[in-house]
Structures are given as C-alpha cells and as structure tokens.
Amino acid sequence: MVEAISSPPELVVTGFHALSEPLRVKVIELLRENELCVCDLCDQLKVAQSKLSFHLKTLKEANLVRSRQEGRWIYYSLNLPQFAVLEQYLSEFRRFSPIAPARSCCD
C-alpha cells in the first residue's frame, strides 16, 4: 500500500513559489552573509527600488525574510526557521522514495 503525502501547508507553497524567481534567489544569496538595507540590495543587484520592493514583499509573505526599520532605512535578513520548514518538507520525500531507482516491470 502506498502512503499518501498530505498537501503542504500554505507557507511551504508560498516559500517554494517565492524561490522560483531568479531575482528573489539572488536576494536570498546576498542575505546569507549579512542583514542588508534596501539601498544596498538595489546597488548590488542593479535593480530599481520599485522592482525590488515587489520581490521583497513576496519573500516577506513567504516568511523567508524579516524586515526591521531603523530611521528611514529598512533592513532585511533571512528568517532561518522558515528555511528549516522547507528543508523538512523536502526531507519527507526521502521516507517515501527508495534509495535505489525503481526497476521497470520489464527488467
């Protein structure tokens, strides 16, 4: 009997959706090392703040980044516990998959 995998929680779905856009992955890569303000992200990615704001909003809605305001600047950092949720979701596939590839019926 094959055990069914339950449908993923909404934050898993929004997390993987957020990671499906190359610019958002670049943002995540930059935030791996340091918390950065929007102006630094714009400079390093060579994008307009209006374009970046849309992508940062998507990352925030997916709970992948956190923001804090200091004066007139907004700083972004990774929300590592949410990455652990995504990692845990993917690791569940190992439980349902054999280590060796399945043999076809004709082997």
pLDDT in tens, 44-83: 999 999 999 999 999 999 999 999 999 999 999 999 999 9
| Mean pLDDT in residue range 18-31 | 97
The string over 8-33, giving b where at least 16 C-beta atoms fall within 10 Å of a residue's C-beta and e elsewhere, is eeebbebbeebbeeeebeebbebbee
Does the pLDDT of residue 24 top 90, yes or no?
yes
**pTM of the entire predicted model:** 0.78
| 96 or 14, higher pLDDT | 14
Q: Under CATH, which architecture does the 10-89 domain have?
A: Orthogonal Bundle (1.10)
pLDDT tens string 94-107: 676 666 555 556 65
Q: Residue ranges per domain, the chain?
A: 10-89
β pairing state of 65-70 and 36-37: unpaired
How far apart are the C-alpha atoms of 49 and 20, rounded to whole Å?
A: 20
